[in-house]
Amino acid sequence: MRIERHRMYIGASALLILGAFAAANFHLVSVSLSSQPACVHEEGATPYRAARPSC
């Protein structure tokens, strides 16, 4: 019985890790799709500033 419980904990941990990985990837994809491409930093501009004031 102890081995079955140990196996259950390992399986639950693996599912939790895979779920967190999938959620993080979903978040990255959703942020990239909702970003504003016009607000991307341009070459030669001052670093750490938005490309337009409205960004």
pLDDT, one tens digit for every residue, the chain (55 residues): 677 989 999 999 999 999 999 999 999 988 888 876 666 666 665 666 655 666 6
pLDDT at 3: 76
pLDDT at 2: 76
Rounded CA gap, 7 and 24, in Å? Answer: 26
Residues 50, 36 contacting (CB under 8 angstroms): no
Please give the structure tokens belonging to residue 15: 């599912």
Q: What is the pTM of this model?
A: 0.58
Please give the structure tokens belonging to residue 25: 């990837």
Rounded CA gap, 24 and 4, in Å? Answer: 30
Please give the structure tokens belonging to residue 34: 């909702």
Rounded CA gap, 48 and 51, in Å? Answer: 9
